[in-house]
């Protein structure tokens, strides 16, 4: 996808890499980044605002992968990627121990009835 013509004063359109809505309406947004990169700037502001404004609660997770992927290349198994940090209750929470996306999701499913 080429968004260059939609660029406005240095601002690009954003996307959401992962989106879940649990049975109790709890919202989970996942943003996948190459290891060493962070959610920042306008993208961070947009995604955290979505979480802050969602009346039934929610979380934004920053997911890191270690394989550089080009268009048409093999896919990355996101379930094995690491949840680096999570945004909820209006602040970021860092994880001190590596936690796979699958393990993180399974823990959350018990609390919020996510499928």
- The alpha-carbon radius of gyration of the chain (Å, integer) is 15
Identify whether the C-beta of residue 28 lies closer than 8 Å to the C-beta of residue 104. Answer: no
β-partners of residue 19 are 29
- pTM for the predicted model, two decimal places: 0.84
Q: Cβ distance 95 to 83 under 8 Å?
A: yes
The CA-CA-CA angle for residues 17, 23, 24, to 5°, reads 105
Q: Is the pLDDT of residue 115 over 60?
A: no
Per-residue pLDDT tens over the stretch 40-93: 988 999 999 999 999 999 999 999 998 777 766 678 899 999 999 999 999 999
pLDDT at 2 over 80: no
Q: What percent of the chain has pLDDT over 90?
A: 56
The band of 10, judged by pLDDT with boundaries at 50, 70 and 90, is low
Q: What angle do CA 51, 54, 58 make, to 5 degrees?
A: 50
């Amino acid at each position: 996808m080429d968004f260059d013509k939609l660029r406005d004063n240095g601002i690009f359109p954003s996307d959401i890499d992962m989106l879940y809505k649990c049975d109790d309406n709890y919202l989970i947004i996942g943003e996948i980044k190459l290891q060493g990169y962070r959610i920042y700037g306008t993208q961070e502001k947009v995604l955290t605002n979505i979480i802050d404004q969602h009346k039934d609660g929610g979380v934004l997770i920053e997911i890191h992968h270690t394989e550089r992927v080009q268009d048409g290349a093999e896919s990355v198994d996101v379930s094995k990627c690491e949840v680096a940090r999570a945004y909820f209750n209006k602040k970021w929470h860092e994880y001190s121990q590596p936690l796979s996306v699958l393990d993180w999701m399974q823990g959350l499913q018990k609390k919020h009835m996510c499928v």
